[in-house]
Amino acid sequence: MRRITRTLLLALVASLMFPLQVGLAETPVTVATGLVDLRANAPEGTFLPLGMPPILTQDSYQSQDIHITISRLRDEESKSDVTIADVWVSSLAYLRRAYALNRFDGEMRSMKTLATENRAILAMTGDYANLLNAGLSVGNGQVHRKSENSLRDNGLLLKDGRMLTFQRRQMDVPGMLALGVWQAFLFGPALLVDGQAIERFDSTIRRANPRSAIGYYEPGHYAFVVVDGRSSASRGMTLEQLSAFMQGLGMRAAYNLDGGQSAMLWFNGEVITNPVKGGRRLKDILVVGELPVTGEAGD
């Protein structure tokens, strides 16, 4: 297991210094039925008391429903720079999928446009599922496509807060939908099996590259992980290295998302990683953000 605990602790301490209070969070509203309240899983003090304004620092955000901490570290084995967003949410209503033009088949847009239009506090590259012509894809509980794809691993966020991954042909689409899916990803591959690293992948994208991945600790506790790559300063990770890295963070499940030039992490109004050639336009992103005010125009 990598010795990263000290680095993460230092980053957490730094992020809590000189907090800047920002405006009141928007009033939470119910955006979907069947989502489980996950607040009880979080350690005491993770979320602010009801009515307190959010606290924003350079590397953290805390409100009554969201807690984000940004950490940066150097992985010497892969010679790569890694940015980790540790995320707690009181419900998966606060961890959403956003599509270009608000359509599954929308045109590509910049990370800035997608994140700003969807009020993202934190955002990461999605899975570009509409690039494929087959396979289960679900966004915010809406099923966009439910055909089978025997060539891709599936990554699921369930309405009860669990994250499950299935290797290709391990589970059929009706079986997955019966679990109560909030998000279904199709880029892949799955990075862990029962929390353990995978020693070898047969994917065509297994060589060192910039990476985006979502990791899972327990219901309500997740991580967005972005690895810079394709530069002299940061090489990027192979899938085997990324798998071992996610295990080293103590995750129970992890799933690879769109990487390469698409690999980007957005926080507090800007991209905070170093994407190849400044990044590229995207079809979809993962968003952590407050809910819209009830009755607000356009909602």
CA 18/CA 138 separation, integer angstroms:
40
- What is the average pLDDT across 52-74? 98
Band of pLDDT at residue 157, cut at 50, 70 and 90: very high
How many CB atoms sit inside 10 A of residue 264's CB?
30
This prediction has a pTM of 0.87
- pLDDT for 32 equals 54
> What is residue 298's predicted lDDT score, i.e. its pLDDT?
43
Report pLDDT for 106: 80
Provide mean pLDDT across the span 44-52: 97
Segments making up each domain of the chain, as ranges: 5-288
Cβ neighbours of 246 (radius 10 Å)? 26
Q: What is the CA radius of gyration of the chain?
A: 18
Q: Does the pLDDT of residue 4 top 60, yes or no? A: no
- CA 247, distance to chain mean position in Å, is 16
CA 75 – CA 77 distance, rounded (Å)? 6
Mean pLDDT score, 72-81? 97
User: What integer pLDDT is reported at residue 27 of this predicted model?
Assistant: 25
CA proximity to 251, closest of 190, 169, 207, 201: 190
State how far the Cα of 47 lies from the Cα of 22, in Å rounded to an integer.
Answer: 15
Sequence-ordered list of residues with C-beta below 8 angstroms from that of 125, at least 6 positions apart, any chain: 111, 212, 226, 257, 258, 259, 262, 263, 264, 282, 285, 286
